[in-house]
Amino acid sequence: DSGVTQTPKHLITATGQRVTLRCSPRSGDLSVYWYQQSLDQGLQFLIQYYNGEERAKGNILERFSAQQFPDLHSELNLSSLELGDSALYFCASSAGTSSYEQYFGPGTRLTVT
């Protein structure tokens, strides 16, 4: 158990809908990272937050947004969902802004039908 929690584990929704994925980092970790893993795109880095501020941005679509709250948990919002958004979404946390050791959560499996 990495200490990173993600909810829900599975999510099935329809095209055009909006969902929110939640992540709680390990106790004491200030950085949260979001990744998408799909069959056709592989693993993609989406975004990083450090202590509430956006720190790094990857291939995150405009339909997606994220934030980190004062208690350090993070949410990834996916809107206007398309079939191609079906993927495993991982959250990871690390102690500092560029700490190299990241601890991954179990992931949220999103299925868009």
Q: Which residues bind another protein (CB under 8 A)?
A: 2, 33, 35, 42-45, 48, 55-58, 88, 90, 92, 98, 100-104, 106-107
DSSP three-state, residue 111: strand
CB 72, min distance to another protein, A: 18
CB 33, min distance to another protein, A: 8
Decide whether 13 or 37 has the Cβ nearer to another protein: 37
Q: Which residue has the tokens 């997606």?
A: 64
Residue type present at position 6: Q
State both tokens at 12: 């099935």
Backbone phi, psi, residue 6, to 5°? -135, 140
